[in-house]
Structure 1
């Protein structure tokens, strides 16, 4: 490739040097990165910080994610994926719809308690992580609606209240995700989901 007279050749684009890591090591590193981000947020934490704390090279970390942005996305997906699996395991131990719903929302609240205010603020303001959060909150709303429908079919919940409750769940989760409900109530995301569980448990049951 030729260059105009007197012009210096373009410098090749540099990509972070990555070190191949085995599956178990990668899983362990991803768990550690996730814990750091959940505790402190990810905006202020650098890859140098992570490497120093984990006593590994930056090249090793880049074996988990090729850039800091990829590390952030991987950690956020890991958090939601592992928590969703944990919650579903808890729900599977119950058969009564009201217990399933309460357990599900309490599980969501427990998961959200792992989020520091710094991580939550970073997550909802950074496009890729905000989209991950949006997809997971939408799925949470769908799961609650599925359980409400199951309770109606089983005769446990009042059908006249089911449609209303379903819309309340969807709106409440959306309001938590957008931050509107948190601002207006002063509650955290975890506290909001816990309150929602209590409202659903008491509002959907047949009057005794």
Structure 2
């Protein structure tokens, strides 16, 4: 079932301020320990104000995460809007993804992989990103910019790798945010039509 995040029009200025603060706190410190009672005390707000953001702990977490990843998606899409080629678009897409995730702390990324409500959000966004990447690759092949490779296989490989990144499996080698940029470089150069197979 699709749910929506609170819109600017549906929240009072104080509620919007609270939502923004929660998002900043989650990104900086993670959210595994988040509780409504503790947030009400530390953020000096009423429960009714908090409940405008979400009626339960999981609903609040989900709405904050959806808001963040919606902005990530908008940022990456804007980055490729005026790309001169599919190769450039693919490079920009991965670079923008890395840049957009820079505010996310290791604690945030860890909680993304361990809390079911967060993992659901990440999986949804990873699939959407994979679809965009697959489209760019397919268009690049049709334009002769990329070598002919099985696009669906490559997309599955990318989605699996991005899932492993989110789970922290490469955290001992690179900061999670940087892995997307490195992954993008490997993909672009690996399928470049001018590169030798």
TM-score (norm 1): 0.78
Counterparts of 1:69 and 1:171, CA distance in 2: 26
The alpha-carbon deviation at position 97 of structure 1 amounts to 0.5
Offset at 1:125?
0.9
Give the corresponding residue for 2:75: 86
| Alignment partners' CA distance in 2, 1:82 and 1:36 | 17
Q: Deviation of residue 48 (structure 1)? A: 4.6
**Residue of structure 2 in register with 1:197 after alignment:** 184
Where do residues 180-191 of structure 1 align in structure 2 (5 Å cutoff)?
180=169, 182-183=170-171, 186-191=173-178
Q: Is the 8 A contact 2:23 2:68 kept in 1?
A: yes
Q: 1:13: which partner in 2? A: none
Distance in 1 (alpha carbons) for counterparts of 2:58 and 2:155? 36
Question: Structure 2 stretches of 5 or more lacking a match?
Answer: 1-8
Q: Distance in 2 between matches of 1:60 and 1:71?
A: 12
- The match for 2:126 is 137
Rounded to whole Å, the distance in 1 between the matches of 2:80 and 2:16 is 25
Tell me what 1:116 maps to. Answer: 105
Gaps spanning 5+ residues in structure 1: where? 1-20
Could you report, residue by residue, the CA deviation over 1:42-90 in whole angstroms, capped at 9, with x for unpaired residues? 1234435534554432321111111222211110111111211121111
Instruction: Give the counterpart of 1:178 among 140, 157, 167.
Output: 167
Secondary structure of 1:187 counterpart: coil
- Matching of residue 57 in structure 1 with residue 42 in structure 2: no
* In 1, Cα distance between equivalents of 2:12 and 2:193: 49
Q: In structure 2, do the counterparts of structure 1 residues 87 and 199 end up closer, same or farther at CA, with 3 Å as the change threshold?
A: same
Q: CA RMSD in A?
A: 2.4
Partner of 1:23: 11
| Alpha-carbon contact 1:165-1:204 (below 8 Å) kept | no
